[in-house]
Amino acid sequence: MAEIRFRTREIGSLSKPGWRVKSVVGRPVEEADVEYARRWGERLGVEGHEELVELLGKGTGFTGEEKARIQDFAALYAVRLLESAGLDVVYDGEQRRSEMYDHAVKHARGFEARGTVRSFDNKYYTKAAVVERPRVEGAYDLEEYRFVREHTDRQVKVPFTGAYTIMDWSYDEHYAAEGGLLGAPAERRAEARRRFGVDVARDVVRPNVAGLVEAGADWIQIDEPAATTRPEEVPLVVETFNATREGIEARASMHICFSDYDCLFPHIERLEDCYELQLEFANRDSRRPGTKEEDRPGYAVLRRFAQSDWDGKIGLGVIDIHTDFIEPPELVRDRILHACAVLGPERLEVNTDCGLRTRTWEVAFEKLRNMVEGTRLAEAALNGA
């Protein structure tokens, strides 16, 4: 029997250090920010971090070239943090991106900003309206990917904001006003949203994905936090994933979090070549040890996946990203072992619930390191070590 081993990953984002944010937006970089860069550069063994420390010592007035160099270092620090934590699959913590929705919309034609809205806690994004059919010219994340690929020998998974979420988080000032929509008002609204979502998939997300795949990316992750916001539109989530996936020769997975996963059934059975669903579970789970059903209430919905005709992998969320609680490795182990009893180890990989952008690097690093250690404990238990 082959040895059981799970690949460990973070979902996407890490918090941006103060020196990265302040230097780029034009606020003074303080001595504490410089010390933070020095300390983490030494801790992670970031090559050339002395150059960054010297550059940040300037404090203000960074040129465009200097800002770009600072962003390079932010991406490199994130890669090294994930590597040092022991992850098998890495990216750059989305250090170059402003916010997942805004990052996609600002690179596309056909959108106009309409103001800032709150997403959760103290996090905000600039909400846009679609005013004409959206489109992009070229792959806007190409240089981001090339930098990561050049600076790691680990497997790389690239996150992209999904078409459904882009559509759902935008105002519609174009599709609903188009002619040719038939039926009752509710039917016309539904068809307008469908056209909007599919156009975003085909003309915004897919061109970006295709450019990175052509450059060598072999694993893409479509992020759909809005997937179950409107349960009646889960079929549209599937349709936009499939439209994004069409013609793309790479592994494709979808990340969904803080959702009612019961809404996904049976619609996910129509996902086309979806390698994996990366899902959040730890946030709804208990912190007590144990592998029995009553110990692991946050993973109850796994039974639905076990009974479904959809047979892809599950990226098992074992780390809660909304708290500073550092999950003990033994708790991570028990969550994995419970999931193995339900689905079988061949259908599982291991990740955080979602991106860790709301946590400090100190907390994120400890969480990730314990996730890796707990995963190795689970593997040892399953392999009879």
Is 112 part of a structural domain of the chain? no
Average pLDDT score, the chain: 95
Going from the C-alpha of 197 to that of each of 15, 149, 177, 228, 258, the distances in angstroms are: 29, 30, 15, 15, 21
Cis before 266? omega within 30: yes
Helices (H), the chain: 18-25, 31-44, 49-56, 64-85, 100-105, 142-150, 163-168, 185-200, 206-214, 234-245, 302-307, 329-343, 361-382
> Residue 114, exposed/middle/buried by CB under 10 A (0-12, 13-18, 19+)?
middle
pLDDT exceeds cutoff 80 at 255: yes
pLDDT at 187: 86
Q: What is the mean pLDDT of residues 288-306?
A: 97
Could you read off the pLDDT of 207-250 as tens digits, one per residue? 999 999 999 999 999 999 999 999 999 999 999 999 999 999 99
Tens of pLDDT along 11-40?
999 999 999 999 999 999 999 999 999 999
CATH code at position 143: 3.20.20.210
The answer to whether residue 42 sits within a structural domain is no
In a domain, 212, yes or no: yes
66 belongs to a structural domain:
no
Residue 123 banded pLDDT, cuts 50, 70, 90: low
pLDDT of residue 41: 98
Confirm whether 151 is domain-assigned.
Answer: yes
pLDDT for 126:
85
Share of the chain above pLDDT 70, in %: 97
pLDDT of the residue at 147: 98
Confidence bin at 259 (pLDDT 50/70/90): confident
So what's the pLDDT on residue 124?
67
Mean per-residue pLDDT, 270-294:
97
Parent domain of 92: 8-16+85-103+134-384
Residue 338 near residue 306, CB atoms below 8 Å? no
Number of domains in the chain: 1
Whether 89 maps to a domain, the answer reads yes
In order, the DSSP letters of 148-187 are HHHT--SEE-EEEE-HHHHHHTSEESSGGG-S---SSHHH
The number of residues making up the chain comes to 385
Is 343 a residue whose pLDDT tops 70? yes
pLDDT value at position 183? 75
Residue 219 covered by a domain? yes
Is residue 141, in this structure, part of any structural domain at all? yes
pLDDT at 162 over 60: yes
- Asked if residue 146 has pLDDT above 60, the reply is yes
According to the model, what pLDDT value does residue 55 have? 97
Closest among 166, 95, 171 to 131, alpha carbons compared: 171
The structure's pTM equals: 0.94
